[in-house]
Amino acid sequence: MQSFRTELENPIVERDILELERKIALFKEGKIDEEKFRSLRLARGVYGQRQPGVQMIRIKLPYGRVTAPQLRRISKVSEEYSTGRLHITTRQDIQIHYVSLDRTPQLWAELEKDDVTLREACGNTVRNVTASELAGIDPKEPFDITPYADATFRYFLRNPICQEMGRKFKMAFSSSEGDTGLAYLHDLGFIPKIKDINGKKVRGFKVLLGGGLGSQPRHADLVYDFLETDQLIPYIESVLRIFDRHGERARRNKARMKFLVKDLGLEAFLELVEQEKKALPFTSYPIDAAGYEAAQSLPNPEKPELNSELGLDYELWKLTNVLPQKQEGYAAIGVRVPLGDFYISQARALADLIETYANNELRFTLRQNFLIRDVREDLVPFFYQELKKIGLAERGYNSLGDITACPGTDTCNLGIASSTGIATELEKVIFNEYPQYLKNQDLVIKISGCMNACGQHNMAHIGFQGMSMRVGKTVIPALQVLLGGGNLGDGNGRFADKVTKIPSKRGPQALRLLLDDFEANGEDLDFLSYYDQQGQMYFYELLKELADPAKVTEEDRVDWGRNENYEVAVGVGECAGVVIDLVATLLLEAKEKLDLGQEALENGRWSDSIYHHYAGLINAAKAILLSEDISTNSYATIISLFDEHFVSSGKVTLDSTFAEKVYEINQHEPTPEFARAYAKQALDIYEVLKSYREEEVNA
């Protein structure tokens, strides 16, 4: 592979990209195990597609914010390396598809010229930090959470404690008690609060821990009613350290935070978090929110002329797509992006529009749309005119007709049935037959192509999950219908009940039955109250006829958006970056981590150095255990098993137990003296383990 120059000013980023290029070359030469290489590229935003030989690239945009130059940069990269289509995810990222693996380092280097990263967009890392798109403009917010979300993103990017955890880790910030960031279904969720302490208004967060979706959704536990903002980063770091040490690493379906909290018990988990605080580099981490807020300003452009009268379409659009801001005289414009897909010609026009007439930023939303902020109220008609020119003036923003759907079988390896195809059909039903619901923003439909819930189907009022269904000797595409989920606000929510499974082609009829019955029997109730009043079995009976396999037709055998008969084709999912490690690879990686620790030590980054050396010791011990076919499922288990099988038996000689040496990490503050001592000890132990392995191989 021919190397290239990144021409980047940031040496850390440049090294990161060159390292990816080097590892791609080693993989192609057969010098890196395929599964290990998968873990590495996932942590750099490079994700395998359903289609062989090409990659999906996930671009990490903290709290969904993007500026005009960044949008142009993303468009340029998509034009050169991909297909020109941009896909907004439910975590406020942008994905592009059909990218050659060999070109990913160059692509990444191009993005970084405008401070856009791929780092830790996938894999067993801290994923994108999401936040309410209204942050900073929400009339109901106690304060702007943007600087706190930004500080969280930057602190944990490339942080050694969260590079190779057992599973991904997701955090979200809401702007107010409305909890539009969905704190209750995240590993960590934060809702802003103001508390009067000794006559002073103090900022803090309500903190929720251990939530999640997937096949076993779990509501997060409340751990703090009020955590002061300077404790935000230390608390997150403590939680991540415990998750990294005790989280499951062998059984992928049990490796999320929610399972660790459930297995240990909340009280025991929080006790471990408390004990970890001594090892943290900061007992307090103040965030300069005042500086951020002082730097904010509102645009005041010259008012352009309209080309013509806008008419009724504009009035209807304005009812659903224009949102009030807390800044007097300004509004936000919600732009509905069906299925989250838009194109570089639209993106470039948007960049010009927000740079000239708004505040040079937009924010992608959790519902796969975007929000243009700080639009002077008298410019709203002009924005509608310009958005209409580029095909982005559809009404019904955040309404029932604004359906969230993951890519499903279009590109994802795990997709079972087409989520985008059924979403398109359901939107047609709503727009053509139930237009009154385009003003209803209290009723939500979400669709996922599999049980992993990337489309968040099991927290929606009406949810659909892609499945398969056996009818005789054939298998047809199907949908699990779920009802009764929803966000209740202030960190409370509910998950939907599974009602019945129907052929996918009957999804539109299921929606018609539900909406017709809601209109006939819902009276003045909201949908959740109506669902509770009628009960789960009522809806099973309502939809039972659609689920009857005896009435399956030839049409039911073809999925939405396809011409051929359905076949189940589920590949290896990469959401968790599951790794099957080889002994030599693990020892090599252990040495790489020790080298990173030495570099951090030389640069005075004491806490980073300690953690790199700790991770190196764990990798080395795991390699030795693996060499004797001893399976492990967490870092804590590796430590105990190594003592049991090697130290206690006398196979490996240390002057104390391995656990005593390793766990010094949380017994000491990260001082220069301890960092140096821990580094020396780690290198000495590594040499002992390396020698043991060499002797075993020679024998």
Tokens of 557: 């055998």
Claim to verify: residue 67 and residue 204 sit in the same structural domain: no
Residue tagged 């300069």 (tokens): 288
Within-domain flag for 564? no
Within-domain flag for 601? yes
Give one DSSP letter per residue of 296-344, joined into a string.
Answer: -----PPPPPPSS---HHHHHHHHHHEEE-SSTTEEEEEE--GGGEEEH
Claim to verify: residue 593 and residue 551 sit in the same structural domain: no
Tokens of 322: 């224009």
What lies within 8 Å, CB to CB, of 167 at 6+ separation is 124, 247, 248, 252, 255, 256, 257, 576
Claim to verify: residue 550 and residue 588 sit in the same structural domain: no
| Amino acid code (one letter) for 484 | G
The domain boundary, picked from 52, 82, 112, lies at: 112
Give kind and range of the element (H or E) at residue 87: strand 85-88
What is the pairing mode between strands 171-173 and 130-131? parallel
Claim to verify: residue 147 and residue 248 sit in the same structural domain: yes
Tokens of 24: 């791609």
Tokens of 20: 């990816």
Within-domain flag for 3? no
Claim to verify: residue 408 and residue 543 sit in the same structural domain: yes
Indicate the angle between helix axes 232-246 and 266-276, nearest 10 degrees: 110
The number of domains in the chain is: 5
Residue tagged 């951020």 (tokens): 292
pLDDT of residue 143: 98
Claim to verify: residue 424 and residue 548 sit in the same structural domain: yes
| Amino acid code (one letter) for 341 | D
Within-domain flag for 338? yes
Tokens of 467: 């499945």
Claim to verify: residue 316 and residue 412 sit in the same structural domain: no
For residue 454, report the phi and psi dihedrals to the nearest 5 degrees: -65, -25
Query: Residue 427, SS3?
Result: helix
CA dihedral 298, 304, 309, 314 (to 10 degrees): -30
Pick from 416, 409, 570, 573: nearest CA to 38? 573
Between CA 590 and CA 616 the distance in angstroms is: 4
What are residue 60's DSSP bridge partners? 117
Within-domain flag for 303? no
Tokens of 432: 């053509």
Cβ neighbours, 10 Å, residue 680: 12
Between CA 177 and CA 194 the distance in angstroms is: 12
Claim to verify: residue 277 and residue 139 sit in the same structural domain: yes
Pick from 538, 570, 548, 452: nearest CA to 503? 548
Claim to verify: residue 417 and residue 531 sit in the same structural domain: yes
Claim to verify: residue 415 and residue 380 sit in the same structural domain: no
Within-domain flag for 186? yes
The domain boundary, picked from 557, 572, 605, lies at: 557
The domain boundary, picked from 251, 286, 321, lies at: 286
Domain of 649: which CATH number? 1.20.120.330
The sign one gets for the Cα dihedral 475, 477, 481, 487 is: positive
Between CA 32 and CA 24 the distance in angstroms is: 9
Within-domain flag for 2? no
Claim to verify: residue 444 and residue 528 sit in the same structural domain: yes
Within-domain flag for 180? yes
Pick from 252, 13, 206: nearest CA to 109? 13
**Cβ proximity of 433 and 490 under 8 Å:** no
What are residue 41's DSSP bridge partners? none
Claim to verify: residue 450 and residue 492 sit in the same structural domain: yes
Query: pTM to 2 decimals?
Result: 0.91
3-state helix/strand/coil string of 200-254: EEEEEEEEEECCECCCCCECCEEEEEEEEHHHHHHHHHHHHHHHHHHCCCCCHHH
Domain of 382: which CATH number? 3.30.70.3340
**Mean pLDDT in each 10-residue stretch from start to end of the chain (699 residues)?**
61 88 86 78 84 89 98 97 95 95 93 95 94 97 98 96 93 97 97 96 98 92 98 98 93 90 96 96 96 96 91 94 97 96 97 98 96 98 97 95 83 76 93 92 90 88 90 87 96 95 93 96 93 96 92 86 69 41 76 94 96 94 90 93 94 93 94 96 94 83
**Cβ proximity of 132 and 173 under 8 Å:** yes
What lies within 8 Å, CB to CB, of 650 at 6+ separation is none
What lies within 8 Å, CB to CB, of 199 at 6+ separation is none
What is the extent of the structural domain holding 231? 130-286
Per-residue pLDDT reduced to its tens digit, 536-586: 999 999 999 999 888 888 888 888 878 777 775 544 445 443 333 368 778
Pick from 359, 469, 454, 388: nearest CA to 415? 454
Domain of 76: which CATH number? 3.90.480.20
